[in-house]
């Protein structure tokens, strides 16, 4: 059996498992939000409840990402409906998010189409040829203290109000999506006041930081994959250019297994609730590399793709 045939055996949707994941995550999301708001004067309750809410927010985003691949539920219509329902809670307009993400999958590892990726990467040669201002901007952009918090605030609260390609993939949907978010904010303000709105927004921002951190690690590690056509190998780009983050079973569960990103890029039809089983049941001849937490943190120091050494490297001295 080859790897594609093996992964195809896990690309089976199950509406029961999908519903448990979908409604279960929403239950945790709203319960944690209610607890944080109702106990707003008790920081020792608000903080853990807020962290649970933040991870539930990440999980909702991953489930919406699944619906964009039509891999969560059985039918296309079910996935499309679920994707639109999730949209206001993830701050990501469904149709545009789906189309842009599919472009990312189509161009994974392609140095000539880096605009389809979430985190921009310069090559070492481009860095050496860049002027002082371009270098300064890129240094600031790739600084984790800026990339993670500002990336969260900018992406989820500003950029997603009008994402790239909105005019091409669904301007009306983006407008309606933004109106629904405003209505949700108004309803929450009416029920829980300004404090409730601030708690929702702050811990959504924390969830966004978790999301940006994961997005960075999914494709930015030392022996990732970049190349140019005609040498670009799509299968190798999917597997080697995407990471498997080994932070433990509970973390995988908390983020709906988006940590198992190599198998996901190789076969995007595998639903999130089967990704871990698929990866950890791999036959020995298909064994894939896993990145532990310490190595993941060290990967934050890697900034440039060295085309000669085929490695992601730090800034030169």
Q: How far apart (Å, rounded) are the C-alpha atoms in residues 258 and 252?
A: 7
> Encoding tokens for residue 290?
């896993």
DSSP string covering 250-297 = HHHHHTTTTTBHHHHHH-TTS-HHHHHHHHHT--GGG----B-HHHHH
Is omega for the bond preceding 230 within 30 degrees of 0, making it cis? Answer: yes
Residue 166's domain spans which residues?
3-313
Q: What is the pLDDT of residue 1?
A: 66
Q: What is the pLDDT of residue 294?
A: 93
Q: How far apart (Å, rounded) are the C-alpha atoms in residues 202 and 80?
A: 28
Q: How many domains does the chain have?
A: 1
Kindly give, in sequence order, each residue whose CB lies less than 8 Å from that of residue 242, ignoring residues fewer than 6 positions away: 108, 218, 219, 261, 262, 264, 265, 266
pLDDT in tens, the chain (317 residues): 689 999 999 999 999 999 999 999 999 999 999 999 999 999 999 999 999 999 999 999 999 999 999 999 999 999 999 999 999 999 999 999 999 999 999 999 999 999 998 899 999 999 999 999 999 999 999 999 999 999 999 999 999 999 999 999 999 999 999 999 999 999 999 999 999 999 999 999 999 999 999 999 999 999 999 999 999 999 999 999 999 999 999 999 999 999 999 999 999 999 999 999 999 999 988 888 899 999 999 999 999 999 999 999 999 98
pTM: 0.95
Distance of CA 133 to CAs 114, 129, 139, 269, 316, Å? Answer: 21, 12, 10, 42, 16
């Amino acid at each position: 059996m080859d790897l594609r045939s093996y992964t195809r055996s896990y690309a089976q949707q199950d509406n029961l498992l999908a519903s448990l994941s979908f409604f279960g995550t929403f239950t945790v999301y709203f319960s944690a939000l209610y607890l944080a708001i109702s106990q707003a004067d008790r920081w020792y309750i608000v903080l853990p409840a807020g962290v649970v809410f933040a991870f539930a927010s990440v999980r909702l985003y991953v489930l919406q990402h699944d619906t964009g691949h039509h891999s969560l539920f059985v039918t296309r219509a079910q996935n499309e409906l679920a994707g639109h329902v999730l949209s206001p809670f993830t701050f990501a307009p469904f149709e545009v998010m789906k189309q842009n993400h599919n472009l990312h999958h189509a161009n994974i590892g392609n140095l000539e189409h880096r605009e389809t990726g979430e985190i921009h990467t310069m090559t070492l040669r481009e860095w050496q040829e860049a002027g002082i201002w371009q270098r300064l901007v890129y240094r600031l952009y790739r600084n984790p203290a800026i990339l993670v918090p500002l990336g969260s605030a900018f992406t989820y609260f500003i950029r997603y109000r009008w994402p790239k390609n909105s005019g091409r993939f669904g301007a009306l949907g983006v407008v309606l999506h933004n109106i629904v978010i405003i209505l949700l904010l108004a309803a929450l303000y009416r029920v829980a006041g300004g404090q409730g709105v601030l708690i929702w927004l702050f811990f959504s921002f924390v969830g966004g930081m978790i999301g940006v951190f994961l997005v960075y690690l999914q494709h930015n590690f030392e022996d990732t994959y970049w190349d140019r056509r005609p040498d670009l190998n799509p299968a190798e780009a999917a597997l080697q250019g995407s990471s498997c983050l080994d932070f433990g079973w509970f973390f995988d569960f908390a983020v709906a297994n988006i940590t198992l990103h190599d198998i996901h890029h190789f076969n995007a039809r595998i639903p999130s609730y089967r990704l871990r089983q698929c990866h950890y049941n791999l036959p020995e001849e298909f064994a894939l590399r896993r990145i532990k937490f310490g190595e993941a943190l060290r990967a934050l120091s890697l900034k440039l793709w060295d085309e000669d050494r085929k490695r992601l490297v730090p800034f030169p001295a």
